[in-house]
A and B are shown apart, each in its own frame.
Chain A
Amino acid sequence: MTESAENTNSAIFDIHDMTVAYDRRPVLWNIDLTLRNPGLVAIVGPNGAGKSTMIRAAMGLVPMVSGAVRAWGAPISSQLTRIGYVPQRGSVDWDFPISVFETVLMGTYGSLGWFRRPGGVQRDLTMQCLERVGMQDFAQRQIGQLSGGQQQRVFLARALAQQAELYFMDEPMAGVDAATERVVFKLLQSLSDEGRTIVVVHHDLRTVSEYFDEVVLLNVRIVTSGPVATTFTPANLQATYGGRLSILDTMADAVQKQVETE
């Protein structure tokens, strides 16, 4: 037991027995996931498999029914400053009166703490991050005036400005043009080369083996996870995409109904 505890402590990121329910109906079952090595990790699974829910629950944005999430051996809520996040593009109001520069600058707020204003250091960092995603020329634009791919790059730049060691990205490649996709992958690669860990909710199966080190196959529960070479196999994909487990659906109904009509 002590040995396994030590293993967990040395892990970068560890989810233990996480179950998430919406309206008392479980949508993620007993998730157990440990990441030990830095690198690029893809979360892959069909629509409605709970991919976004998993990372959102891990970051405390969605309440868990049970389970614990730790990063570097400590509860994740105490490690948030070391973790970066790229939400789905649709999660904010793009008509908000804010410029690209200001949006990216928000990535530095976490390290600033209460009351302190961003200064020259933060501004320089923001410009560097914008340059890394190739958006420096758009710094003064209002964010609503950008294309979808550009908006995605702004979100990435904001995450870069967080200077985190562990990143969670929710479908950063959804609905972007080919140019942006290349920029994003190059960026992810360089982050990975710097020794960071990037967990990406991904929907494009064709690019998984090309870019990612590890893969998590998810369909309301973790089907399997591990290095892409050994895990990303047709058999495992069949198990992930070959329909939902009807027993889990029945059970989800049973749980919800029991609580409602006991």
Chain B
Amino acid sequence: MLITQTQIVLTGTLLLGIAAGMVGTFAVLRRRALAGDVVAHAALPGLCLAFLAFQSRSIIVLLSGALLSGLLGAVTVSMLKRFTRLRDDAVQGIVLSVFYGGGIALTRSIQNTHRNDSGADLESFIVGQAATMLKGDVQQIAVVVAVTVIIVVMLFKELKLLSFDEQFCQVQGWSATGLDVLLMLLTAVIVVVGLPAVGVVLTAALLIIPPAAARFWSDRLSRMMMIACVIGGISGVTGTLLSARYDGLPTGPLIVLTSTAIFVLSWVLAPHRGLLWKSREVTDLESFLPWVESDAAEPPAPTTSGSPGSAQEIS
């Protein structure tokens, strides 16, 4: 029985890690890494309201509520950016904290009015509790992940174009806004599906850390995405196993810490972009092989070229 339960949780976190790595790749490259964090925090009040409205603990009901309020949060971010002179960072901070505050307030009053443990149940969404995943939950996660993977694969070309050069995407006649909304939607769905396992505060990590680690290993988007999926999957599985092995350690944080460890390892070990490789390059090539200087006839361009999409000068 214990083994099957572990297997169920393992499947769930594995699938979650893969999907998050996939969607997160685009989020990181588009500099929308923290959008997932905002959605996750913004999802909490919807979760509570869904519980209050339907008096149900069915995961699909709760997560639908969460998805709706998460998307409302994302919309609020873009509205605030459009109609006020507040900057991106302040807007994200505002939406994140106000929605989260609303969620906390609702959780508390649910806890105080429903004397059963439903409040505590909702609280488990804040740091996550993968160990309680049920077979039905995992089946639902599997469906969501499958849909996500299909959409990303079908639209890989378009999403790649959007991420690299939004303007070029637009002048070729693609709807950049439409693709942007789709990407936001996928991110929100993955974040919300991840809530029961990893929780509000840490879901963003699943979206950010595996792609960031994968970036060290490849210079090609398709490969980077696959590596991000693998890292996400490994983190999910390892975190779950560790949590099962050492009873009482929470799953979500362990998954995050595993991916952090992989990130650090990648940073040190990866060829070309890794720290070891770089230090070897510096010592070997420059100090011992002076003729490699000739390669500098065409020096690599500076990598900082201004953030795309930021307000450029007028000319």
Chain A residues within CB distance 8 Å of chain B: 22, 27, 47-53, 56, 59-61, 77, 80-81, 83, 85, 87-99, 102-103, 106, 109-110, 112, 114-115, 117-118, 142, 144-148, 150-151, 158, 162
Contact = CB atoms under 8 A, between A and B. Distances in A.
Contacts of B167: 56, 61, 85, 87, 91
Given A60-B170, A98-B221, A115-B155, A93 B161 contact: no
B171 A85 contact: yes
Nearest to B223: A97
Contact of B314 (A27, A80, A93, A115): A27
Interface of B: 29, 154-155, 157-158, 160-161, 163-165, 167-168, 170-174, 215, 218-221, 223-224, 298-301, 303, 305-308, 312, 314-315
Given A91-B312, A96-B164, A97-B224, A110 B219 contact: no
7 contacts: A53-B314, A90-B312, A94-B303, A98-B164, A115-B155, A147-B299, A148-B301
A48 B155 CA distance: 38
B315 A52 contact: yes
Nearest to A77: B173
B46 to A, nearest CB: 32
Given A60-B170, A97-B224, A146 B300 contact: yes
Nearest to A87: B167
A58 to B, nearest CB: 10
Nearest to B173: A80
Contact of A87 (B157, B165, B223, B299): B165
B171 A91 contact: no
Secondary structure dominating the interface of A: mixed
A60 B167 CA distance: 10
A87 to B, nearest CB: 6
Contacts of B173: 77, 80-81, 110
A109 B220 contact: no
Contacts of A60: 170-171
Contact of A22 (B170, B172, B314): B314
Contacts of A51: 315
Given A53-B315, A144-B300, 9 more contacts: A48-B315, A77-B173, A90-B305, A90-B306, A96-B221, A97-B223, A102-B220, A103-B164, A151-B301
